[in-house]
Amino acid sequence: MAEQTHPTIVDGWFREINDTCFPGQAFTLKVDRILYHARSEFQDILVFKSTHYGNVLVLDGIVQCTERDEFAYQEMITHIPLYLHTDPKKVLVIGGGDGGVIRELLKHQQLAEITLVEIDETVIRLAREYLPGMARGLDDPRVQVKLCDGFEFLRKASSAEQSEKYDVIITDSSDPEGPAEAFFQERYFRLLKDALRDDNSVVIAQTSENVWLNIKYLEDLTATAKKVFPNTRYCNTMVPTYTSGQLGLIVCSPDASKDLTTPARTPTAQEDENLKYYNPEIHHASFVLPNWADQLLNN
């Protein structure tokens, strides 16, 4: 059998080069071997074993996660909104077929129902095979997996009875190209708001960009979110294998008085034992921006 190849891998190095999302720079990882490559109905999917970061999932040429550092992203996008809510019971996850957010949600024993909406079944199948440490929670009885378009799912959820709506919604989408493009527009934020249970509810979404890569994009995105959620803040997490080592998150609440920078709850002793990155101090610190970025994003 011929050895697998991929156009992003040259001379044994994976290269993430995307002049649209990350102009003028690139990121590389040393490759041990390619584990899987194919094009699904929605996107190009590559899984390879790296020499130092374990297995790596790449969608349309952009690193989504590596086994070594994925927890830095999964914990922050999950626990920031969960600890901002005083008593979360029902959570919706849009995207995140790798299962990392689900794994983190299951650390919260008070959650009664978790719905994962993933458009590409191939991502779930590959995560079970190549990223078992992330996908291990997908079969938990509290988890419902819906294989459909997240935008269309939200349309239905936004018109549901109030009791059927969500305490927390997490948008764990890929970057704003292809099937994920609609997740970064005003109409999507309006659907998010309409799918929330009450003013105690919280929304979080990955922004793809950070302040070093494309501050203008983040200005536009936060301005768009603020049209729907006046209480909107940008924060970030440190992930070595994301281009420039940072990833931005945008947090929104219908409650204008809610302090998004301070957790409403703190981890129990049991929860704290299972956390590798998140803590209340990092929660607060993640919202602290350098002066030039703070002025642009928070006025």
> DSSP readout, 82-98?
HHHSSS--EEEEEE-TT
Fold of 70-298: Rossmann fold (3.40.50)
Report the percentage of the chain scoring pLDDT > 90.
Answer: 84
Q: Which residue has the higher pLDDT, 163 or 108?
A: 108
**Residues contacting 110, CB < 8 A, separation 6+:** 87, 88, 89
Confidence tier at 181 by pLDDT (50, 70, 90)? low
- Residues annotated as catalytic are 172
Question: For 276-287, what is the mean pLDDT?
Answer: 98
Using DSSP's 3-state secondary structure scheme, residue 208 falls into coil
Average pLDDT over residues 231-240: 97
Counting residues of the chain whose pLDDT is more than 70, the rounded percentage is 95
**Tokens standing for residue 69:** 């550092």
Q: What is the pLDDT of residues 68-126, one digit of tens each?
A: 999 999 999 999 999 999 999 999 999 999 999 999 999 999 999 999 999 999 999 99
R_g of the chain computed on alpha carbons = 18
Q: 9-66: which CATH number, 3.40.50.300, 3.40.190.10, 2.30.140.10, 2.60.15.10?
A: 2.30.140.10
Helix (H, G, I), strand (E, B) or coil at 201: coil
- Spatial separation of the C-alpha atoms in residues 182 and 188, rounded to whole Å: 7
Among 1-10, 15-24, 35-44, 60-69, whose mean pLDDT is lowest? 1-10
**Segments of the chain assigned to CATH 3.40.50.150:** 70-298
The Cα–Cα gap between 79 and 283 comes to 9
The answer to whether 35 and 55 have CB atoms below 8 angstroms apart is: yes
Report the DSSP beta bridge partners of residue 16. Answer: 27
Token digits of residue 122: 């191939």
Q: Would you place residue 179 in the very low, low, confident or very high pLDDT band (cuts 50, 70, 90)?
A: very low
Cα(267)–Cα(104) distance, rounded to whole angstroms?
12
Span 141-163, mean pLDDT? 92
Give span(s): CATH 2.30.140.10, the chain: 9-66
